[in-house]
Chain A
């Protein structure tokens, strides 16, 4: 599989990109929330974190809509 990934023929499919966006978006949101818990900040989620979480959420939603497109090339 790794060999195929690094072959000259490999290209991302819409499905694979969709999965990456969903996984990245969800994990990213959890990471930001986790970071907030570890930091023990009294101020809660700041504007930068909120913006990043919105962006990751949008990425995850876009990812979900890409998954059904299957093998179509990105």
Chain B
């Protein structure tokens, strides 16, 4: 409970620059409950950070739908597959301590 309020207060004191870091981080990892709460309060009264949050979420969603389209974008062509496998066999027995 104490850490919750500590996090809320800490986040509420952060300027917008750090708020945007939290808003972005939230898309990659969960914030602590206190951090999430502080961030939500900041966004309630800060229109610019609210716009920022809305836009990075939209971008993430657009990127995701681009990725889903990618899923149906075709298979490794047979000729390419054959050449790659041939390349693997040509590579065997090579000095494996050398980085390409």
Determine if chain A interacts with chain B.
no
Which chain B residues have a beta carbon within 8 Å of chain A's beta carbons?
A: none
